[in-house]
Amino acid sequence: MRVLAELDHVSKRFGQVKALDNVTLKVREREVFGLVGPNGSGKTTLLRVLACLEKPDNGDVLIAGEKVNDRARDRVKLGVTLVFQKTTLFTASVYYNVAYGLRLRGASKSDVDDSVKEALDMVKLEGYENRQAKKLSGGEQQRVSLARALALGSPLLLLDEPMANLDPKSASVIEEVVRQANKQRGTTIVVATHNVFQAGQVAGRAAMLVDGRIADIGPANEVLGRSRSSAGFARLENIFSGVSEVLEEGNSRVTLDGGIVIESALRQSGRVTVFVRPEDIVLSKKRFESSARNVFEGKVVEVSDFGSLVRLKVDAGKPFTVQVTKRSFAEMAINVGSLVCITFKASSVELV
């Protein structure tokens, strides 16, 4: 299958930070490619380089076999659309927002109308044309942003954390849109996410990006399977660094960077990096009697639906990822913005 986008030994530095370090990557035509890595791993920079919005310090970028340089950049990037993680919409109607890019490209009124309608139908926002975009929910705004990208019909679509901070309905809609755009339109799609489970839902191939380098690449189920069983996966969720002090009773008190204190069954002193598996954290709406040594209150900031399971990110001074069953999630009636309590045992805290 033809390669549509390629990075050849690309590096990019911002001051003292090396965002991309000698990255070589090929994205095939008509595939959904997952780019997985923790926050700060270089995912957004990689997407911006592919979108011709950032020039690499070293290496080459090729789109549809053509090398991106100063002469070709403006023309080549017309075939690439990047949807940013942070939604930016005009204070105007949904129709105006979705039609904006098409109008800039000089599309006719009838073509704009048809493309806007098709894009809104795909993201399940039929009939929203006259609504004010900024008065919609966060999930609906993200879907408007995606519709704007779909309306352009670019062969290469880049999505930066498209399902982060969304309610389960909007997240599932976006997952379905990715599949539909790929299968029905043949759109090549790169999905960047810190969530290996989300990548596994939509991607055929995937790469693990860690500290600006490709740590693993191949079929998504194999790459993500290896990551889940390694310390590399721990780096993606509930990984914390701090200073550990052994207590008289045998446990250790770990003061995390930022001041949060957790208790561990590890007899370890000094600088440590620890993690807690999402399935080892108990989620509740209120505090309850328990022998667990770690209890924190926080707010739900992200919800991801994975069929029979739901994963939530809870801001409790540090971001904790928690896993519950779909039934438990429904019974607790919680969503983004809900105040909750998380509880886990000292024995659940492990060294990386």
More confident residue, 239 or 109: 109
CA angle (138 as vertex; 132, 140 as ends), nearest 5: 60
Mean pLDDT for the chain?
90
pLDDT in tens, 111-137: 999 999 999 999 999 999 999 999 998
For 3-233, which CATH superfamily applies?
P-loop containing nucleotide triphosphate hydrolases (3.40.50.300)
Q: Is 3.40.640.10 the CATH number for 237-351?
A: no
pLDDT in tens, 298-325: 999 988 877 778 889 999 999 999 999 9
Write down the pLDDT at residue 227: 67
pLDDT in tens, 20-76: 999 999 999 999 999 998 778 899 999 999 999 999 999 999 999 999 999 999 999
Confidence (pTM): 0.71
Write down the pLDDT at residue 168: 67
Q: What is the Cβ-side half-sphere exposure of residue 332, based on CA atoms within 13 angstroms?
A: 21
Write down the pLDDT at residue 235: 45
Nearest to 257 by CA among 275, 273, 276, 235: 273
Mean pLDDT for the stretch of residues 250-255: 91
CA 195 to chain centre: 6
Extents of the domains making up the chain: 3-233, 237-351
